[in-house]
A and B are shown apart, each in its own frame.
Chain A
Amino acid sequence: MDEQADNTDRDAPDLPEHTVASADVPDVELVARAGAGDADAFEELFNRHRRRVSLIAGRFFRQREQIEEIVQESFMKAYFALPDFANGQENSFASWIARIAFNACYDELRRMKRRPESAAGDISEEEAAWLKTQLRAVGAGADVEAAAIARDLADKLLARLSPEDRLLLVMLDVEGMSVAEIGESNSWSISKVKVRAHRARAALRRVLERFV
């Protein structure tokens, strides 16, 4: 996942030129320089990984302001935690900053869950009818992937899950992270990840079964 993230970040179009620090300088060295107060080194780290962090934030949030908030929050936390990275056993800045970003998303999801005004709207009758039709078709053997699911409806359904379940399902089904990676990211054991994954899938199934 990390190598893929690094490659996609370096191929990203429309990003500012890396003028100060060379792209050949490894992240670990940039972290050491940034920790010593080199602002250019931190900017280089930011430019290398901001696309990845933005995409992670976009997995959970729709509005541009929310995504930017997560990006800023993640890099700010990383900035103040640079000594932890340098002193710890971390071997990849990409996975470290991704973990910080996922945690920032999780915190924001929990905050949103506590605010009733930010809750997703109810599913309309038309949406419920469409969902019922699709689920019946799927049950009858129709191709799941052929069902074009509206983004708003998907958001409303996922809003019924807990932040933990949603985070886990995105990590598993969208990011393609392994159990070990998820465990490392959340400081969970492998067995705990498996149990939580099972519960998350069951929770999503229960949400869908209401419309069958």
Chain B
Amino acid sequence: MIGNHKKGEPGERLERFGQAIVRASATANDAEAEAVAASPFLYARLRTRIAAEEARRAGGETWLALLGVVWRSVPAMALVALVAFVLFWTTNLGTTTTSPGVLSDEALMDARDAGIESVVFAERRPLSSDDVLATILLEDEREVSR
């Protein structure tokens, strides 16, 4: 017999006893197994399970297809990001920028603001003391004439 070697009579008996145990355990449930085999709805339940498994596999395939699309779109997205970065970089090179947190001399001296103010005031032609005096005299003359 397979797996049997000469172990003497007690060993052989022990082994035969072991075989009897295996048989007792394995064949004791034949009636229950027969009942399962004769179950009238066994095939219907199997079909339901196969249908569920097919749906699960189809769902898995959909996810795989979606993952494939995402995977293929990675190079295109990377290219778009690179182009956007290059455009951003080149447009920023044309303008003077001050790094944040560092004040330039121009900002500290307020030179640019003064220039703007001077232009504004120049356009307004601020009143001189002679103009004020002339205006007061003109008002006095009007009152006298009344």
Interface residues in chain A, defined as those with a beta carbon under 8 Å from any beta carbon in chain B:
12-16, 39, 43, 46-47, 50-51, 53-55, 57-62, 64, 67-68, 71-72, 75-76, 79-80, 134-135, 138-139, 141, 144-145, 147, 149-151, 154-155, 157-158, 169-170, 172-174, 179, 193-194, 197-201, 204-205, 207-209, 212
Inter-subunit contact B26/A170 (CB<8 Å): yes
Which residues does chain B contribute within 8 Å of A53, judged by CB atoms? 37
Closest to A58 in B: B33
Interface residues as binary, B27-66 with A (CB distance below 8 Å gives 1, 0 otherwise): 1111011111111101101110110010000000000000
Given contacts A179-B2, A200-B3, contact A12 B14 (CB under 8 A): no
Closest to A56 in B: B33
Number of interface residues of B (CB under 8 A): 42
Which residues does chain A contribute within 8 Å of B42, judged by CB atoms? 50, 68, 71-72
Inter-subunit contact A135/B14 (CB<8 Å): yes
The docked-state distance in angstroms from the alpha carbon of A13 to that of B24 is: 24
Inter-subunit contact A149/B21 (CB<8 Å): yes
The docked-state distance in angstroms from the alpha carbon of A43 to that of B41 is: 12
Instruction: Give the interface SS of chain A, mostly helix, strand, loop or mixed.
Output: helix
Inter-subunit contact B2/A54 (CB<8 Å): no
Which residues does chain B contribute within 8 Å of A50, judged by CB atoms? 37, 42-43
Closest to B20 in A: A144
Q: Would you give 12 A-B contacts (Cβ < 8 Å), ordered by A?
A: A13-B38, A50-B43, A58-B32, A61-B29, A76-B46, A151-B28, A174-B23, A201-B15, A204-B21, A207-B18, A208-B17, A212-B14
Instruction: Give the interface SS of chain B, mostly helix, strand, loop or mixed.
Output: helix
Given contacts A138-B13, A151-B28, A172-B2, contact A46 B46 (CB under 8 A): yes
Given contacts A154-B24, A158-B25, contact A193 B2 (CB under 8 A): yes
Q: Is B4 in contact with chain A by the CB < 8 A criterion?
A: yes
The docked-state distance in angstroms from the alpha carbon of A212 to that of B18 is: 13
Which residues does chain A contribute within 8 Å of B36, judged by CB atoms? 54, 57-58, 64, 67-68, 71
Give 10 new A-B contacts, CB below 8 A, not counting A68-B42, A205-B11. A59-B27, A62-B29, A64-B32, A139-B13, A144-B16, A194-B3, A197-B3, A201-B15, A208-B14, A212-B14
Inter-subunit contact A155/B25 (CB<8 Å): yes
The docked-state distance in angstroms from the alpha carbon of A47 to that of B38 is: 10
Inter-subunit contact A134/B17 (CB<8 Å): yes
Inter-subunit contact B46/A204 (CB<8 Å): no
Inter-subunit contact A151/B25 (CB<8 Å): yes
Inter-subunit contact B3/A201 (CB<8 Å): yes
Inter-subunit contact B24/A151 (CB<8 Å): yes
User: Which one of A15, A169, A193 lies within 8 Å of B22 (CB-CB)?
Assistant: A169
Inter-subunit contact B29/A58 (CB<8 Å): yes
Closest to B54 in A: A80
User: Which one of B18, B21, B22, B39 lies within 8 Å of A68 (CB-CB)?
Assistant: B39
Q: Is B5 in contact with chain A by the CB < 8 A criterion?
A: yes
Which residues does chain A contribute within 8 Å of B40, judged by CB atoms? 16
Inter-subunit contact A72/B14 (CB<8 Å): no
Which residues does chain B contribute within 8 Å of A169, judged by CB atoms? 18-19, 22
**CB proximity of B79 to chain A, nearest CB, Å:** 41
Inter-subunit contact B10/A139 (CB<8 Å): yes
